[in-house]
Amino acid sequence: MKKYVLKRILIAVITLFLITLILFIMEKAMPGSPFNDEKMSHAQVAALYHKYGLDGPVPLQFFNYLKNMLSGDFGVSYTVQVNTPVTTMIMQHFIISLQIGLQATVLGSVLGFLMGILAAIKRGTIWDNLMTGISVLGISLPNFVVALIVSIIFSYKLMVFPGTYQPSQPFVSSILPTIALSTFTMASIERYVRNDMIDIMNSDYYRLADSKGIKKFQLIGHHVIRNTLISVITVLAPLMIDLLAGSMVIEKAFAIPGLGTLYISAIQANDYNVVLGITFFYAVLFISIMLIVDILYGLIDPRIRLDEGK
Amino acid sequence: MKKSALLATAIACVGLLITGCQKNSSSGTKNQDKITVVQNATVDSLDPILAYQNTSSTVVANTIEGLYTIDAHDKPQLALASKVKTSNHGLTKTFTIRKNANWSNGDPVTANDFVFAWRRLSDPKIASAFNFQPGAAGIKNANDIVAGKKPVKSLGVKAAGPKTLVVQLDHVVPYMNKLLAFSDFAPVNQKYFQKTGKKFAQDSNHLIYSGPYQIKDWKLGDNTIQLVKNPKYWDAKNVKIKNVKLDIITDPEKAAIAFENGSADYVHLSGQLVSKYRKDKNFVNDVGNFTQYIMFNLKKPGLDNADLRKAISCSINRKEITTHILKDGSIPSHSMVMKDLVKNPATGKDFADESTTNLYEYSPAQAKKYWNKAKKATNLRSFTLLYDDSDPSYANVAAYIKAQVEKHLPGMKVTLQQVAKKTRTDKMSKATYDATLTRWGPDYADPTAILSMYQSKNDSNYGRWANSEFDKLMAQSDQTTDQAKRYKLLLKANNILIDSASCPPLYQIGAPVLQRANIKDLPMHIAGVPFFFKYASIK
């Protein structure tokens, strides 16, 4: 296991380096600069290039960037939040996305899991149809439509929750975005759990256990749900990255100053350091979660050997 | 079948919910001393010289007051200065700073705070986007300092005493007081600035205020800013609204919902929402601060032909663009200098209305005439029209222009190219474009805020149009102190520019808003800082 993890970390470091290098080159090759504006004179732009060290050769700029990066300095923002360190910006905005993303993950996965179990156990009944209907809606309706529906009902009609994110009420104003964001997760998990449980309940080992007279509750809890967790984790991991990274659509719909909003603003503004910093952060997040998921596979199902039995 | 029935029911529910929204909004704010204003631009910085976005300059101007403000009637009023004395043929201005003008930390506002701030503004190393403004205000040596030819300390501004600020000018600028009301001329307390270092203006704990409001619990990146009345402000007794909240909401639908449910009192509307709210008692439709126009790259062979440009201009029906495509209160433009910006000092007539009548407006017959002339002089039969994605309406306007040009100029083909705004400006600055949809908004209320960019040596002259007569008129307008004469010179320069059809104006953007009817004296200023909340009140 240790060898496997070390190997994965090494691959991750190489991946991160390549991502940074490719993005750095792409940013420089892109038309425009952070300082392109109708009203900026050539002298102003040149002065800003010099101030931020963007007037040297690109390899030297990359070397300097890497050197600073290794000491935790990802540079400052040029335009979006002028002169603010990128690390400060990422943390400041990520905290908000993280809170809403975690809430949506928990809400979506718990509801989806329970709905999936109910649909599988009550297979073929009205409950199964109801759960299926809800999950079809959850998958079919884009989350901005859900955002609009919950906004109109709870913010505009009933006025119980704010329609936009308020820093003074971080939890209350995160409820509607959480609901909008969790519907797809909930629906996806419900489908996977239901289908997986039905497959397991049709398997030979389940029938054998059932014929032994093991109590239904114990049977479901011990033999079915545990095995279903594998597929839940497989689905949940990439969904979770999306949720934690900040859904750009939902953040725009609820005016949430999260990481997704910042990323879009930075890309539109050619704010090189911010784009690089967030991409690097996303890459680290993605690689870490995937590694944790692989390790979890082994813990949940001992049949999966990460280091191929060595 | 069941699934589709469920989906249909859900869609019907959404439809019902949305149509059920169309109620008339309340005309009064809930609270008598608090308003919430929705802004669609984020705050990029609250350092006065780096605050570029409209939201940023609004916050700076309302919290760090300078020598002047602009009142609800668009007139400059002395603010931190109690009086100004003009001498040396108008080339020296001595401002006396109010005795009771203090920073929120208790320090007195001094002349040195302005000297320090304005030197920072002019410093070419800092490269503020507004560093041209001290030069535009006529402050001595400002242009040379920005160009790196003179040291920052040579700027024509000095403290003749703790409360006496002396400003020396290269030339008299009649609109100087309006310029000085802009947020970049705000004072900065040098001692405080040096103490806070890199943290200056990064959050509300690292800012001090000299204006009517101070900021509560804010950090750069937040989507909301609370302004609360500054008790140490020299004129605090006349600040009627105690709390102003600025909410940054970029989605116009969401902003309109915020207005309808009472959580916002002032929101900007997009074109799509105007028809819905046109009859609402809170609907206000003014013209906005940008003129949209086509800029031709005169370095491209063929587009340097004036007849071709005139043919293109004559083939575009501006009225159709504003009434059928935009539908947001935009009006066809008749002048490079927009309406409601400048009045004739002698007659009071609007500069835009006095602009030339030879506008190359929509006329298929004229378009045909110019096209036939142009065809003999140039082989150009196609060009690319560039536009950006910063506003969804640009794509529709560009498509309309393509259709009109190809219809009225047989044989001419227009290719549309949509790019990011930064790419468009990059192409403009490198002259690697044929024609582009672009716009310009004035930083101060004077024709030169628009016309100066067309001077042959101006970096922002992206069309590379050059006209010696135009340059001469602009130079003469800089030298004269006679306001009527200056106005005529600038009007003549504007007419030469229009007559060249190098950048045919299309329309002046509309500024439709929903504003609670009981909020008084809160106009959106067309140039400079959009809002001064000090003068606003709730009736």
Per residue in B60-92, pLDDT (tens digit) is 999 999 999 999 998 999 999 999 999 988 899
Q: Which stretches does DSSP call E strand in B231-390?
A: 243-248, 266-268, 283-296, 331-332, 382-388
- Nearest residue in chain A measured CA to CA from B7: A137
Contact A149 B13 (CB under 8 A): yes
Mean pLDDT of the residues in chain B: 91
Collapse the DSSP code of B139 into the 3-class scheme (helix H, G, I; strand E, B; otherwise coil) and give the result.
strand
Tell me whether A87 touches chain B (CB under 8 Å).
no
Top-confidence residue, A5 or B143: B143
Contact B261 A269 (CB under 8 A): no
Contact B124 A83 (CB under 8 A): no
Q: Is the pLDDT of residue A297 over 80?
A: no
Contact B47 A129 (CB under 8 A): no
What tokens does A271 get? Answer: 């704010």
Helix axes B2-19, A143-150, angle to 10 degrees: 50
At B252, which helix (H) or strand (E)? helix B252-260
Q: In terms of DSSP bridges, do strands B413-419 and B505-515 run parallel, antiparallel, or are they unpaired?
A: unpaired
**Taking residues A27-49, what's their average pLDDT?**
84
User: What distance separates the 2 farthest-apart alpha carbons in chain A?
Assistant: 84
| Pick from A301-310, B64-73, B104-113, B317-326: least confident | A301-310
Contact B217 A33 (CB under 8 A): no
Tell me whether A252 touches chain B (CB under 8 Å).
yes
pLDDT-derived band at B19, boundaries 50, 70, 90: very low
CA distance A270 to chain B (A): 7
Residue A208: Cβ within 10 Å count:
11
Q: In terms of DSSP bridges, do strands B505-515 and B331-332 run parallel, antiparallel, or are they unpaired?
A: antiparallel
Q: Is the pLDDT of residue B16 over 50?
A: no
Top-confidence residue, B267 or A237: B267
Of B14, B147, B221, the CB nearest to A89: B221
By the 10 Å C-beta count (0-12 exposed, 13-18 middle, 19+ buried), B443 is classed as: buried
At A124, which helix (H) or strand (E)? none
Tell me whether A17 touches chain B (CB under 8 Å).
no
Residues B111, B164: contact at Cβ < 8 Å? Answer: yes
Residue A203: Cβ within 10 Å count:
14
Place of tokens 């393509």: B402
Of B124, B247, B422, the CB nearest to A47: B124
**Taking residues B423-427, what's their average pLDDT?**
91
- Give the C-alpha separation, B289 to B342, whole Å: 12
- Give the C-alpha separation, B351 to B335, whole Å: 8
Contact B6 A37 (CB under 8 A): no
Mean pLDDT of the residues in chain A: 87
Collapse the DSSP code of B364 into the 3-class scheme (helix H, G, I; strand E, B; otherwise coil) and give the result.
helix
Q: Is the pLDDT of residue B5 over 70?
A: no
Contact A83 B2 (CB under 8 A): no
A 92-111 → B contacts, CB under 8 A: 92-93
What tokens does A37 get? Answer: 């504006």
Place of tokens 């949720």: A243
Residues listed for chain A: 310
Of the residues A26, A27, A36, A271, the best mutation for testing chain B's interface (the one with the most B CB atoms within 10 Å of its CB) is A36
Top-confidence residue, A201 or A222: A201
CA distances from B136 to A226, B294, B485 (A): 73, 26, 19
Of the residues B132, B200, B425, the best mutation for testing chain A's interface (the one with the most A CB atoms within 10 Å of its CB) is B425
CA distance B161 to chain A (A): 33
At B249, which helix (H) or strand (E)? none
What per-residue string of b and e applies to B509-531 under the rule 16 or more CB within 10 Å gives b? bbbbbbbbbbbeebbbbbbbbbb
Contact B254 A164 (CB under 8 A): yes
Contact B423 A31 (CB under 8 A): yes
Q: Is the pLDDT of residue B203 over 90?
A: yes
Could you tell me which of B256, B251, B308 has the C-alpha nearest to residue B278?
Answer: B256
**Cβ-based contacts of B254 with chain A (< 8 Å):** 151, 163-164, 253-255
- Nearest residue in chain A measured CA to CA from B218: A167
pLDDT-derived band at A156, boundaries 50, 70, 90: confident
Of A51, A82, A163, the CB nearest to B257: A163
Residues B449, B443: contact at Cβ < 8 Å? Answer: yes
CA distance A29 to chain B (A): 12
- Nearest residue in chain A measured CA to CA from B121: A44
Residues listed for chain B: 539
At A67 the pLDDT is 94
pTM for this one? Answer: 0.85
- Give the C-alpha separation, A97 to A259, whole Å: 6
- Nearest residue in chain A measured CA to CA from B441: A39
**Taking residues B294-312, what's their average pLDDT?**
96
At A30 the pLDDT is 84
Tell me whether A255 touches chain B (CB under 8 Å).
yes
pLDDT-derived band at A24, boundaries 50, 70, 90: very high
Residues A118, A130: contact at Cβ < 8 Å? Answer: no
What tokens does A300 get? Answer: 């949940």
Of B44, B131, B254, the CB nearest to A81: B44
Of A133, A163, A164, the CB nearest to B6: A133
CA distance B346 to chain A (A): 31
Contact A36 B222 (CB under 8 A): no
Tell me whether A124 touches chain B (CB under 8 Å).
no
Which pairs from B86-93 meet CB under 8 Å and 24+ separation? B88/B168, B89/B172, B90/B169, B90/B172, B90/B481, B91/B168, B91/B169, B91/B170, B91/B171, B91/B172, B92/B166, B92/B167, B92/B168, B92/B169, B93/B166, B93/B167, B93/B169, B93/B176
**Cβ-based contacts of A133 with chain B (< 8 Å):** 2-3, 6
Rg (CA), chain B: 25
Contact B3 A164 (CB under 8 A): no
Q: Is the pLDDT of residue B4 over 50?
A: no
